[in-house]
Amino acid sequence: MSDCIFCKIVDKKLPSTPVAENQHAIAFRDLHPGAPTHILVVPRKHVVNLNDAREEDAAELGHLLLLARDVAKAEGLAEKGYRIAINNGAGVGQSVFHLHLHVLGGRAMSWPPG
């Protein structure tokens, strides 16, 4: 998608602060962190959000979770705890329409989120 900022970050046409990457996805720090650790895990393939995901994406979706886990571990969050969030739709705060996992940690968090 030529006008998608996360596609541009995936293609390294826009800068980011990367923390990890593999053949399936990249992980980089959120520009406006909502927690001491706030990392985005973004699939290389452009998928708008979960509504856009298909059965054939099942393995790719699983790889996102595994990379999020590895990132959280590398950030020292495995024992303390961390939250994985996906905003699906503008009504719940999705602002970039390329699927991404938020990995949030480093502070106490209430549940349910506000």
- Which residues contact ligand AMP by CB under 6 A? 5, 16, 30-32, 40, 87, 93-96
Instruction: Give the nearest distance from C-beta 22 to ligand AMP in angstroms.
Output: 19
Return the closest-CA partner of residue 84 out of 73, 20, 48. 73
Instruction: Give the nearest distance from C-beta 69 to ligand AMP in angstroms.
Output: 19
Nearer to ligand AMP, 57 or 94 (CB): 94
In the chain, the N- to C-terminal Cα span, in Å, equals: 32
User: Are the C-beta atoms of residues 1 and 98 closer than 8 Å to each other?
Assistant: yes
How far, in Å, are 3, 9, 102, 109 from residue 35 at the CA level? 28, 22, 10, 9
* Catalytic-labelled residue, pool 24, 98, 100, 102: 100
Instruction: Give the nearest distance from C-beta 68 to ligand AMP in angstroms.
Output: 14
24 catalytically annotated: no
3/74 Cα distance (integer angstroms): 32
Residue 89 CA from chain centroid, whole number? 15
Could you list the active site residues? Answer: 100
